[in-house]
Amino acid sequence: MTSLLQTSSRILQVPGKNRSVPPSPSCSLSSSRNECGIAPLTPSPSPRPQLRPCVARPFSVVVAIDFGTTSSGYAFSFTEDPDVIHMMRRWEDGDPGVANQKSPTCLLLTPDLHFHSFGFAARDSYHDLDPEEARLWLYFDKFKMKIHSTSDLTMETELEAVSGRRVRAIEVFAHALRFFRKHSMKEVQEASPSCLESDEVRWVITVPAVWRQPAKQFMREAAYLAGLVSSESPEQLLIALEPEAASIYCRKLRLHQMIDLSHRPLANGLDPDASRIFDSSDRYIVADCGGGTVDLTVHQIEQPQGTLKELYKASGGPYGAVGVDLAFEAMLCHIFGADFIESFKTKRPAAWVDLMIAFEARKRTAAPGRNNALNISLPFSFIDFYKKHQGQSVETALRKSNMNIVKWSSQGMLRLTPEAMNELFQPTINNIIKHIGEPITAEGRHNGNTTSERREIRATMQFGDTEIKVTAVDVATDRFVRASIDFLSN
């Protein structure tokens, strides 16, 4: 298996210091010396427990942070019992009646740039601010991919808050990671029979496969600034690729826990091999469909050693769920005007956040077979602000836009028809389908199918609350592919 951290000649300059941040130390998840990766969740025994030698481990606990674009969370495992994974569930605030394993990736800073809150607490606190006061506070959400899209990333790169104020990106990420350090170590200490020293903790931060080396180094420097580890002990922090971590988890699943897309017939509706674990004949795709990116790995388990063979280089693209949010924003710009939307975001930032939260909640209920419209509540301040600044009602604006797939409700809601939701989702879905088709096409060429450079793949996607199910068929051969879909964000 290739190393998770590819060395690079590119380095990230650190102003004010007589050093440069070196490339993250190379460390494979399959390495046995220090057990670099957090052990995956284990619904079934490992396929090769008897082959793993017992070695002395310098760390007592491994804490892995899933720093997502839309949602974040963490888990930890003690090295003396690595197959027992402790998932964080107790988030502050949150939605009533919902067990939250993740928290929104939202950060709120005070007007003097001090940390106030993160996650649900940040979202709710910002909502409760007076509109004029909210313009002075700094609220950040979905900021993770900004460091990937920045071509000249440095330690002085800035992020813009919803209110328009700017602050150094490294400080924003450090505030978030510092929150996770405090929150996770409290849980670790409660679960540990003894008091742990800071150097006994191995930290893992997952990043998208699409991230370039400067972005990974940036995340490492943010971890140093947050106090997770010292720059003098870089080996204490592992920057792991998200799809590779998911793939290692999948190798411990039994076949009935996977989405089986093979042509193998079932006996009385049951697969006689469903209880077995993977063997060397099994190849699988892990599609990590997150908020910002969609990352892929294609692996095969090599027997008898049980290691993973990489069949297709880990890859990714900015095809996550944020694309649907951007399509919704573009739809609002078409209806109400781009200038008005930008003005509203600047003058009423908290109300804009409320609007996008309302859309996010309704977006999760969208499904291909849904025939009724989805209602999106417009904040009163949006309706009032448009009336005062444009001299007409939002209903009039909607009617003049000639966008027949969006209706107006007298209750102050936009009614998005199934056609409208399809229009919002389709560009992102098309990108995902194209991206998943690339390793399938490459595999066909590898097997001698070179009759054409392009192969037509017919794919069906079903969006659920916690996963995206993809059925992909090669039109030319009518062959299915076996795939595991891991939906790691809201």
**pLDDT tens-digit map of 126-145:** 989 988 898 899 999 989 88
pLDDT digit string, tens, across residues 24-52: 443 333 333 333 333 333 333 333 344 44
Has residue 157 got a pLDDT over 50? Answer: yes
Question: Does a structural domain hold residue 456?
Answer: yes
Are 313 and 337 in a shared domain? no
Are 294 and 340 in a shared domain? no
Average pLDDT over residues 320-333: 93
pTM of this structure? 0.69
Question: Does a structural domain hold residue 4?
Answer: no
Are 214 and 85 in a shared domain? yes
Are 165 and 291 in a shared domain? no
Are 184 and 290 in a shared domain? no
Residue 332 structural domain: 322-423
Residue 263 pLDDT: 44
Question: Does a structural domain hold residue 7?
Answer: no
Residue 457 pLDDT: 57
Average pLDDT over residues 153-169: 92
Has residue 18 got a pLDDT over 50? Answer: no
Are 367 and 459 in a shared domain? no
User: Confidence band (pLDDT; 50, 70, 90) for 402?
Assistant: confident
Has residue 208 got a pLDDT over 60? Answer: yes
Residue 365 pLDDT: 86
Residue 10 pLDDT: 38
Question: Domain tally for the chain?
Answer: 3
Average pLDDT over residues 115-119: 95
Residue 5 pLDDT: 32
User: Confidence band (pLDDT; 50, 70, 90) for 259?
Assistant: low
Are 88 and 109 in a shared domain? yes
Question: Does a structural domain hold residue 1?
Answer: no
d(CA 317, CA 434): 11
Are 286 and 382 in a shared domain? no
Are 370 and 446 in a shared domain? no
Question: Does a structural domain hold residue 5?
Answer: no
> Last residue of a domain, which of 423, 440, 459?
423
Residue 212 pLDDT: 86
> Last residue of a domain, which of 222, 242, 262?
242
